[in-house]
Amino acid sequence: MTTLNPQRTIDELKELRALTGIEDGAQRVAFTPVWATARQWLREKLEALPVEIEVDEAGNLWATLRGESTDELLIGGHIDSVPNGGWLDGCLNILAGVEILRRIASEGKPPITIRLVDWADEEGARFGRSLFGSSACSGTMNPDELRHLKDRDGILLSEAIAPFGLNLDTVKESRKQLKNAKAYLELHIEQGPVLESMDLPLGVVLGTCGVERHTIRFTGQAAHSGSTPMDKRRDALGAAAKLSLEIREIAKRHNGVCTVGSVTTKPGIVTSVVAQADMTLDQRHLDANELAAMYKEAQEASHRFAEEEKVGVEWSKLWEIHPIPFHSRLIEMADEAIKEITPVSHRLPSGPLHDAAEVARAGVPTIMLFVQSLYGISHNKIEDTKEEHIAQSVDALDRLTTKTMHWLMDA
């Protein structure tokens, strides 16, 4: 029997970093040669285990350890990275999963089937479309929306996936992979500062936040900066500036997050009052009612400021997604697993979307664990987590796997 060896996970993460990273960080962008190298390396690790390996129609790699029951417990992650990415995002989940497969396989045939999935193109770094493999598998993808997507060099997504044997017409056939899935577990670095600020290694993810994403256009009047008295101006930027501060108060009131990521102005010259200000607003909350309230309050505030500044205002939706809460029993079990390792567990929502959200949308009971990120930074070469915390996270995922297995057997 092999006991769980979290240090081996740390060593393998470093091995992967050396193989697929450069000085600027990880380069495992999906559907590129470096990604293929990472995948091949992962396959070699898996081939040492009594698992069946396959790649589905969406490019997701599955390793299946058959159990007494055909009911399946899934552990997932993504080996792809953003360009100049970190050494943990996505691949920690995968390599922790490999270590847990080793431990379980060494104990003989498990009572239920355990599968590890490496989702294809979680990051969407090249074509701007995240969660490619998991959304095809969950069924939420509309392949027609992806047909026109091109990378910076003008290569179509459909052309980039073809050498990997993938075709947009058939990607959704990967849905059959979830047929026997009874639970899905994912470990991920937090990619934010919450656990670090609380000095906690591990947290339970309650779900992924719903998102309201809009552009807001304020329309005023261009006027000469020298000849137009202050009280005669219709300054579009005045209203945008007021709103950009107000959304912080809205977020605070509702315990959510709101971000103005961009404001562009026209004519955008030093000698003119701003005639048009286009701003983006991103609002997130785990609770659908709170999210709706934040959206409504931002709209009301925009109209109030437009009136004060004597300008027009128009909203247009960029994107929205409902909150995706994780499974309540799995949240309890994840808490228990963490508390066996460290005295305090913390529950928090995930602002970023993850593959786990897609699996949950497909109706599979889902949970995520977060491990602390140093400086709250990710998608960057300075992304890091203390090695002792990495080891604890592998241990926590392993304990959660055992608890989930028992839960499924009792069900």
Binding site for Zn ion (CB under 5 A): 89-90
- Using alpha carbons, list the distances in angstroms from residue 224 to 127, 236, 275, 277, 313: 42, 14, 11, 17, 22
CA dihedral 193, 194, 199, 201 (to 10 degrees): -90
Minimum distance from CB of 257 to Zn ion (Å)? 18
Tokens of 395: 């241990």
Query: Nearest-CA neighbor of 223 among 268, 278, 275?
Result: 275
Query: Looking at beta carbons only, is 185 or 216 nearer to Zn ion?
Result: 185
Query: Looking at beta carbons only, is 287 or 355 nearer to Zn ion?
Result: 355
> Any idea how long the chain is?
411
Place of tokens 């060896």: 5
390 contacts 9 by C-beta, under 8 angstroms: yes
Query: Looking at beta carbons only, is 84 or 402 nearer to Zn ion?
Result: 84
Minimum distance from CB of 294 to Zn ion (Å)? 26
Minimum distance from CB of 131 to Zn ion (Å)? 10
H-helix segments, 107-235 = 132-138, 157-161, 194-198
Q: Which 3 state secondary structure label does DSSP give 96?
A: helix
Tokens of 47: 């081939």
Query: Looking at beta carbons only, is 57 or 89 nearer to Zn ion?
Result: 89
Query: Looking at beta carbons only, is 76 or 210 nearer to Zn ion?
Result: 76
Cis peptide before 267 (omega within 30 of 0): yes
Minimum distance from CB of 39 to Zn ion (Å)? 16
Minimum distance from CB of 26 to Zn ion (Å)? 11
Minimum distance from CB of 81 to Zn ion (Å)? 8
Query: Looking at beta carbons only, is 88 or 405 nearer to Zn ion?
Result: 88
Q: Which residue is nearest to Zn ion (CB)?
A: 90
